[in-house]
C-alpha cells in the first residue's frame, strides 16, 4: 500500500498528486463529478459547451487509507493506489475500480491467420504494437447483477453487457449485425444499473476508443482510448431518469423542433433525378390519402453531385417555383448535403475552398483528396470556426430555393478510396490537429455549421438530420441510424438502437423504415411502419435499385394498414410535441426503453421488443416474420388496450393477438392524451381546437402549444394548459398564456361522456 497523495484544492477542483500523475477531480453539481488527467491534449470539449459547474457544497476528508469526497448525492473514495470508488448517498456501490489486472481474450493469433483475426477489428482494446504511448484504459468492476446501456446506436441489444464496441465513425455497407463493433456515430456515454442502482459514465475523448462491456471477462468492463486526455464524468441521480437528465444537462438537449418535422417523410435514393419523378410521388401520396409532410432529395438533385448546386435542367430551370408549388400542396423538401466537395477547378465551392485554405491537407500542405460520390473530392476542415461559417453561408443556396431542412450524410467522413490516414492535417478550432483526433467530431462540426446556416437564413428552428455524430450533436441535429437493410433482424434492432440513442441524448432519431438496402416484403414493410410509428423521425427511405417500398407499392392491404398508422401518428403528434417540450427541460427521450421508466423492476432490464412513448404509452410491436400473437410484459399498474379498451393489471406477461394490421398498444390507466385532428399535413396555421382523451376517470395533463416554427417561444410566446379530471369532473386552466392563438374550444373525451369547453376571452378561462 502506497501512502496517500497530497491534495491541492482550487475552488471545486481537487488535484491528487500521485508520484506518477496528477489526477483532478472536479465537483460540477451534487450529481456530476469530473475526473481528469492532462495527457497532452490542449483542445476543448466538443460535447460539453460552456461552464457546467454550479456552486456545490461538498466535503473532503482524509481517512486512514483513503480520501472521502462527499456531495449531497455521491460519495467518492480515493485511495493511495489511485482507485476511485463511487457510492450513492445511501452507500450503495455504483462504480468501483477493478483491482485485478485485465485478462485479454486469448484469440490464438498465429502469423498465418493474423489478417483474418485482425479483420475482426479488435485493435483498440490494447496498445497497438505496444508502441502507442498515448494509450490508456479505465477498468471498472462488474457486479453479477449489473446491466449496461447507452453508447448511442451501436448494434445488438438494449443491454450492452457482454459485447464490445469501438468508437470510430464508420460507413461499412455490410449488413449491420451484433458483431459490428462500430457504426457511424461515437457517443461514449454508458449507463449502469448495478443491483438496481443507476449511474452513468461519460468519456469525453474524440480519439479512437473502445468499450468492452464485460465481454473479455464478466468481472469487469473497460474503456480505452489510443490517445487524448483522461476525461470522464461520473453521473449520479436517484433514478435512471435523473442520470439521463444529468447527462443531457452536461452535453445538451435536443432543441424544440418545428412541429411538421414530426410528420411522415417519404424518401428514396433516385426520386430527385427529375421534377416529374418527384411530382409522381407527391401525386401518389395525395391519391392514396397518405398524410405526409416532406419528401427527401437524395444526391440526384445536384449537378454531378456537386454540393450546393442544383441540376436545373431537370427542374424546368426553376427549382424554386417547383418547391414553392409543393409547399402549397403541404409537402416540404429536405435535401441531402455530403461534406465531400468535388475536385473541379471550374466549380466555385471547390475553387473558393482551395483559395481560402478551407480543406484538410496532407502533411506536406497539399489539399487532401479522396473519393466519394462526386469522384475525387476535398474535405472541408469543419473543426475551424471560419470554415463552419463558410459552410453556413453556403446553405443559403438551398434556403433561397426554399429547402426546408438539410440531411447531412457521409460525414464520418466516408471515403471510397481507402481510409483517410491518421496524420492528415485537420484543425481543432484554431489549433493544428490531425484526422486521428478530429475524425469522430467531423459530423458534429458539420451539423453545427449547418445549424448556424439554417438558423440565420430561415429564422426557424433548424431541421437537420445527420448520419455521423459525437456526444452533444443532439444540440444541432436529429439523427438516423444509416444504411440498415430490409431484414427482420434490422426491424428488431431498431428498438434497442433508438432506445439507446434516446438514453444517449438523441431524443430525435429514426431508422429507414422498410429498410434501406435489400428488398423489403409487404409483411416486413407493414410491421415496420407499425413498429416505427412513434419513432420521432418517421421516414421511409430506400436505396436505388432495391424493390420499391412506398406505401402503395404492394397494393392492399399494405396501403390501408400503412395509412391507418400514419393517421394514428398524426392524431398523436400533439402528444409527441408535448414530450419534446418536456425533453428540452429534462433531456428525457420520447421513445424509451421500459427500464428507463421502471428502473426498479428487474423484469424490464433487457426487453428488446417493447418500448414506451413518454410515460403513458407502451408499444409492443410484432418484429418476427409470420407472428400474429405475442407475449407483452406490462409493468406494475393498470393498463388499457388502446384498441378494445380492455383493462389489465400489470406486473405480468399477457398474450395479445396481433394480426398483420394490429400494433399492440397499451395506455397507462388515467393517462390523458391529446388527440389532434385528422390532417394530411401539419399546418402552419394554429389549431383552433384540441381534443384530450381520458383513459380512466381521473388524471392530469400538462399541454404545450406554440406556433411550431420559430424561436418566439423563447420570448414567452407559448401557452400551457392544465387539463384535470377528477371523478369525471373536468377542468381546464391556462397556466401560461403567451401565444395569441389559444384554442377556442377544448373537448375532453371520457369513457362515458364528452365535455366541451369554450374559451372565454374576457376572463381567459374555459367554461
Question: CB of 299: closest distance to ligand GLC in angstroms?
Answer: 4
SS3 assignment, position 755: strand
Query: Which is nearer to ligand GLC, 46 or 269 (by Cβ)?
Result: 269
Calpha distance 502→507 (Å, rounded): 5
491 within 8 A of 524, measured Cβ to Cβ:
yes
- State yes or no: is 684 an active-site residue: no
Residue of 160, 467, 662, 681 that binds ligand GLC (CB under 6 A): 467
For position 159 contacting ligand GLC by CB under 6 A, the verdict is: no
Residues 6+ apart with CB under 8 A from 590: 502, 507, 508, 534, 536, 576, 579, 580, 583, 613, 614
Which candidate, 36, 110, 104, 30, places its Cα nearest to that of 74? 30
528 versus 642: smaller Cβ distance to ligand GLC: 528
Beta bridge partners of 212: 164, 222
Please say if 483 is a catalytic residue. yes
Applying CB under 6 A, which of residues 216, 293, 452, 483 lies at the interface with ligand GLC? 483
Size of residue set near ligand GLC by CB under 6 A: 10
Task: Spot the catalytic one: 212, 412, 512, 550.
Answer: 412
Q: Binding mask 229-258 vs ligand GLC (x if CB under 6 A, - otherwise)?
A: ------------------------------
Catalytic one of 166, 338, 409, 530 = 409
Q: How far is the CB of 338 from ligand GLC (least distance, A)?
A: 7
**Which residue of 153, 242, 409, 680 would you call a contact of ligand GLC, by CB under 6 A?**
409
Q: Nearer to ligand GLC by C-beta: 480 or 701?
A: 480
At residue 232, the 3 state secondary structure works out as strand
- Closer Cβ to ligand GLC, 95 or 498, answer by number: 498
Candidates 150, 192, 482, 514: give the one binding ligand GLC (CB under 6 A).
Answer: 482
Task: Identify the sign of the CA torsion 682, 683, 687, 688.
Answer: negative
- Establish if 153 lies at the interface with ligand GLC (CB under 6 A): no
How far is residue 767's CA from residue 758's CA, in Å, rounded to a whole number? Answer: 5
* Contact status: 79 vs ligand GLC (CB under 6 A): no
Give the separation between CA 35 and CA 73, rounded to whole angstroms.
17
CB of 261 to ligand GLC, least distance (A): 18
Q: Residue 767 burial (CB < 10 Å; 0-12/13-18/19+)?
A: exposed
298/680 with CB nearer ligand GLC? 298
Print the binding letters for residues 514-533 with ligand GLC: x by CB under 6 A, - otherwise: --x-----------------
Task: Select from 299, 331, 447, 573 the one that contacts ligand GLC (CB under 6 A).
Answer: 299
What count of Cα atoms within 13 Å lies in the side-chain half-sphere of residue 239? 12
- Please state the closest distance from residue 275 (CB atom) to ligand GLC, in A: 19
- φ, ψ at 577 (rounded to 5°): -65, -40
Q: What is the DSSP string of 618-647?
A: EE----STT--EEEEEE-SSEEEETTT--E
CB of 481 vs ligand GLC, minimal distance in Å: 10
Task: Provide the 8-state DSSP code for 190.
Answer: E
| Letter string b/e over residues 106-143, b meaning 16 or more CB atoms within 10 A of that residue's CB | eeeeeeeeeeeeeeebbebbebeeeeeeebbbbbbbbe
Q: How far is the CB of 676 from ligand GLC (least distance, A)?
A: 30
Our finding on whether 298 is near ligand GLC (CB under 6 A) is yes
Q: How far is the CB of 36 from ligand GLC (least distance, A)?
A: 36
Beta carbon nearer to ligand GLC, 203 or 269: 269
**Shortest CB 249 distance to ligand GLC, Å:** 31
Q: Which is nearer to ligand GLC, 271 or 598 (CB)?
A: 271
Note whether 295 and 266 are within 8 A (CB). yes
Residue 467 Cβ vs ligand GLC, minimum distance, rounded to whole Å: 6
Nearer to ligand GLC, 175 or 196 (CB): 175
**Contact flag: residue 269 with ligand GLC (CB under 6 A):** yes
Nine-digit cell string for 573: 403528434
**103, 85, 102, 99: which is closest to 194 by C-alpha?**
85
Angle at 329 between CA 324 and CA 334, to 5 degrees: 60
Q: CB-wise, 246 or 272, nearer to ligand GLC?
A: 272
Q: Between 97 and 483, name the residue whose CB sits nearer to ligand GLC.
A: 483
In the range 541-570, which residues lie near ligand GLC by CB under 6 A? Answer: 541
- Annotated catalytic residue 409: yes
| SS3 per-residue string spanning 667-709 | EECCCEEEECCCCCCCCCCCCCEEEEEECCCCEEEEEEECCCC
CB 171 within 8 A of CB 412: yes
Task: Write down the least CB distance from residue 410 to ligand GLC, Å.
Answer: 6
CB–CB of 278/295 below 8 Å? yes
Residue 516 or residue 739: which is nearer to ligand GLC going by CB?
516
Count Cβ neighbours within 10 Å for each residue of 5-14 and write b for 16 or more, e otherwise: bebeeeebeb
CA contacts within 13 A on the Cβ side of 598: 22
Residue 570 region by backbone torsions, left for phi larger than 0, else alpha for psi between -120 and 50, else beta = alpha
Which is nearest to 495 in space by CA: 639, 622, 655, 664? Answer: 622
Query: What distance in Å separates the CA atoms of residue 220 and residue 161, rounded to the nearest whole number?
Result: 10
Residues 571-630 binding ligand GLC (CB under 6 A) are none
Q: In whole angstroms, how close is the CB of 205 to ligand GLC at the nearest point?
A: 26
Active site residue: 483, 550, 578, 706, which one? 483
Please tell me the distance from the alpha carbon of residue 689 to that of residue 393, in angstroms, as a whole number. Answer: 40
Bridge-based pairing state of the strands 332-337 and 294-297 = parallel
Considering the complex, what minimum distance in angstroms separates the CB of residue 516 from ligand GLC?
6
Cβ-closest position to ligand GLC: 269
Among residues 159 and 171, whose Cβ is nearest to ligand GLC?
A: 171
Burial class, 467, CB count within 10 angstroms (exposed 0-12 / middle 13-18 / buried 19+): buried
Spatial distance between the Cα atoms of 387 and 438, rounded to a whole number of angstroms: 14
- Residues 335-374: x/- map of binding to ligand GLC (CB under 6 A)? -x--------------------------------------
Q: Which residues form the interface with ligand GLC (CB under 6 A)? A: 269, 298-299, 336, 409, 467, 482-483, 516, 541
Residues with catalytic annotation? 409, 412, 483
Amino acid at each position: 500500500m502506497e501512502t496517500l497523495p497530497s491534495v491541492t484544492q482550487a475552488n471545486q477542483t481537487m488535484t491528487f498528486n500521485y508520484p506518477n500523475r496528477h489526477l483532478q477531480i472536479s465537483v460540477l453539481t451534487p450529481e456530476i463529478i469530473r475526473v481528469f488527467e492532462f495527457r497532452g491534449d490542449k483542445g476543448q470539449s466538443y460535447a460539453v459547451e460552456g461552464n457546467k459547474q454550479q456552486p456545490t457544497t461538498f466535503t473532503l476528508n482524509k481517512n486512514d487509507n483513503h480520501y472521502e469526497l462527499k456531495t449531497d448525492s455521491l460519495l467518492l473514495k480515493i485511495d493511495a493506489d489511485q482507485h476511485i470508488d463511487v457510492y450513492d448517498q445511501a452507500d450503495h456501490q455504483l462504480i468501483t475500480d477493478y483491482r485485478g489486472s485485465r485478462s485479454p481474450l486469448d484469440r490464438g493469433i498465429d502469423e498465418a491467420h493474423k489478417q483474418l483475426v485482425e479483420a475482426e477489428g479488435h485493435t483498440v482494446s490494447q496498445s497497438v504494437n505496444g508502441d502507442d504511448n498515448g494509450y490508456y484504459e479505465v477498468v471498472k468492476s462488474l457486479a453479477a447483477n449489473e446491466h449496461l446501456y447507452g453508447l448511442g446506436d451501436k448494434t445488438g441489444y438494449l443491454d450492452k453487457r457482454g459485447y464490445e464496441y469501438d468508437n470510430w465513425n464508420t460507413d461499412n455497407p455490410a449488413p449491420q449485425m451484433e458483431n459490428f463493433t462500430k457504426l457511424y456515430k461515437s457517443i461514449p456515454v454508458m449507463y449502469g444499473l448495478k443491483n438496481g442502482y443507476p449511474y452513468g459514465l461519460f468519456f469525453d475523448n474524440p480519439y479512437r476508443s473502445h468499450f468492452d462491456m464485460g465481454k473479455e471477462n464478466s468481472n469487469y468492463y473497460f474503456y480505452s482510448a489510443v490517445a487524448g486526455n483522461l476525461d470522464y464524468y461520473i453521473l449520479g441521480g436517484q433514478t435512471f431518469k435523473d442520470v439521463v437528465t444529468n447527462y443531457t444537462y452536461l452535453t445538451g438537449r435536443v432543441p424544440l423542433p418545428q412541429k411538421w418535422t414530426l410528420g411522415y417523410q417519404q424518401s428514396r435514393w433516385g426520386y430527385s433525378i427529375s421534377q416529374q419523378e418527384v411530382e409522381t410521388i407527391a401525386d401518389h401520396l395525395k391519391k392514396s390519402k397518405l398524410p405526409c409532410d416532406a419528401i427527401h432529395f437524395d444526391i440526384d438533385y445536384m449537378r454531378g453531385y456537386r454540393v450546393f448546386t442544383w441540376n436545373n435542367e431537370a427542374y424546368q430551370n426553376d427549382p424554386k417555383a417547383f418547391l414553392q408549388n409543393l409547399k402549397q400542396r403541404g409537402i416540404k423538401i429536405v435535401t441531402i448535403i455530403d461534406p465531400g466537395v468535388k475536385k473541379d477547378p471550374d466549380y466555385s465551392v471547390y475553387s473558393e475552398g482551395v483559395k481560402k485554405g478551407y480543406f484538410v491537407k496532407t502533411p506536406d500542405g497539399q489539399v487532401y483528396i479522396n473519393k466519394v460520390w462526386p469522384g475525387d473530392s476535398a474535405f472541408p476542415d469543419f473543426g475551424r470556426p471560419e470554415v463552419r461559417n463558410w459552410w453556413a453561408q453556403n446553405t443559403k443556396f438551398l434556403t433561397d430555393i426554399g429547402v426546408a431542412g438539410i440531411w447531412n450524410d457521409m460525414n464520418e467522413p466516408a471515403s471510397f478510396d481507402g481510409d483517410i490516414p491518421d496524420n492528415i492535417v485537420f484543425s481543432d478550432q484554431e489549433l493544428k490537429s490531425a484526422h486521428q483526433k478530429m475524425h469522430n467530431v467531423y459530423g458534429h462540426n458539420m451539423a453545427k455549421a449547418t445549424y448556424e446556416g439554417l438558423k440565420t437564413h430561415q429564422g426557424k428552428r433548424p431541421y437537420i438530420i445527420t448520419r455521423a455524430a459525437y456526444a452533444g450533436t443532439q444540440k444541432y441535429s436529429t439523427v438516423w441510424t444509416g444504411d440498415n437493410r430490409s431484414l427482420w433482424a434490422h426491424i428488431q434492432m431498431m428498438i434497442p438502437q433508438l432506445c439507446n440513442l434516446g438514453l444517449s441524448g438523441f431524443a430525435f432519431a429514426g431508422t429507414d423504415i422498410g429498410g434501406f438496402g435489400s428488398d423489403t416484403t409487404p409483411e416486413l414493410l407493414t410491421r415496420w411502419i407499425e413498429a416505427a410509428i412513434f419513432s420521432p423521425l418517421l421516414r421511409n427511405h430506400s436505396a436505388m435499385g432495391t424493390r420499391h417500398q412506398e406505401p402503395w407499392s404492394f397494393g392492399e392491404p399494405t396501403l390501408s394498414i400503412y395509412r391507418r398508422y400514419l393517421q394514428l401518428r398524426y392524431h398523436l403528434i400533439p402528444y409527441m410535441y408535448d414530450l419534446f417540450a418536456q425533453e428540452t427541460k429534462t433531456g428525457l427521450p420520447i421513445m424509451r426503453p421500459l427500464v428507463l421508466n421502471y428502473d426498479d423492476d428487474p423484469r424490464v432490464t433487457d426487453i428488446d421488443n417493447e418500448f414506451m412513448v413518454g410515460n403513458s404509452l407502451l408499444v409492443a410491436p410484432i418484429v418476427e416474420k409470420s407472428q400474429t400473437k405475442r407475449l407483452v410484459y406490462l409493468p406494475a399498474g393498470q393498463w388499457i388496450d388502446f384498441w378494445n379498451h380492455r383493462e389489465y393489471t400489470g406486473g405480468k406477461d399477457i398474450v395479445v393477438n396481433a394480426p398483420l394490421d394490429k400494433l399492440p398498444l397499451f395506455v397507462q390507466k388515467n393517462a390523458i392524451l391529446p388527440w389532434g385532428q385528422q390532417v394530411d399535413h401539419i399546418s402552419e396555421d394554429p389549431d383552433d381546437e384540441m381534443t384530450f382523451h381520458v383513459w380512466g376517470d381521473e388524471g392530469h395533463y400538462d399541454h404545450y402549444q406554440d406556433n411550431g416554427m420559430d424561436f418566439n417561444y423563447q420570448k414567452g410566446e407559448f401557452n400551457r394548459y392544465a387539463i384535470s379530471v377528477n371523478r369525471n369532473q373536468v377542468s381546464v386552466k391556462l397556466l401560461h398564456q403567451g401565444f395569441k392563438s389559444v384554442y377556442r374550444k377544448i373537448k375532453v373525451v371520457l369513457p362515458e361522456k364528452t365535455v366541451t369547453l369554450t374559451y372565454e376571452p374576457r376572463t381567459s378561462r374555459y367554461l
